[in-house]
Amino acid sequence: MKARLLSISAAAVLTLAAAQANAEEGLDLAKKAGCLACHAVDKKVVGPAWGDVSKKYKGDAAAKAALVEKVKKGGKGNWTEVTGGVPMPPYSPRVADADIEKLVDFVLALP
Ligand code: HEC
């Protein structure tokens, strides 16, 4: 029983550590790609706070694909009331598709 409890908490610690590593990787990638010129996790800069983006699409299974497209091609209209209609610039092919996917995963995983 004790061993089982221990292995459960070890797994929880590993999951936490992995989540933290992903978050750090996500922010690092965002910094390198230049996203942080217009975005922050917790407040609007030019674009919406990424925490608000995550909230807006919580539970929306189609969101990931749509957001990957948005980051690749740019666009506007989903946050007009926050941004005043400023567009999100296109990032493909400047940023690799795999990295764009990682960035969107990172944003959607924000609490
Ligand atoms: C020049 C400023 C700017 C930069 C740089 C920028 N964004 Fe944005 N971003 C915006 C604006 C403005 C919006 C709101 C667009 C809208 O109203 O639909 C936005 C929206 C978004 C959204 C939500 C899209 C939606 O349709 O709900 C995501 C996700 C996002 N950006 C991710 C990124 C990522 C990842 C990067 C870096 C690769 C990045 N942004 C770089 C300005 C920027």
**Mean pLDDT, residues 25-38 taken together:** 96
Round to whole Å and give the CA distance between 56 and 68. 15
Q: Which residues contact 10 (CB under 8 A, 6 or more apart)?
A: none
Strand segments (E) across the chain: none
Best mutation site among 44, 54, 88, 95 for ligand 1 pocket (most ligand atoms within 8 Å of CB): 88
Contact 48, 35 (CB under 8 A): no
Q: Determine the distance separating the centroid of ligand 1 and the alpha carbon of 84, expressed in angstroms.
A: 13
CATH code at 2-108: 1.10.760.10
**Percent of the chain having pLDDT more than 90?**
77
pTM of the model: 0.89
Average pLDDT, the chain: 92
3-state secondary structure of 39: strand
Instruction: Using the CB atoms, write b or e for 55-76: b if 16+ within 10 Å.
Output: eebeeeeebeeebbebbbeeee
pLDDT exceeds cutoff 70 at 2: no
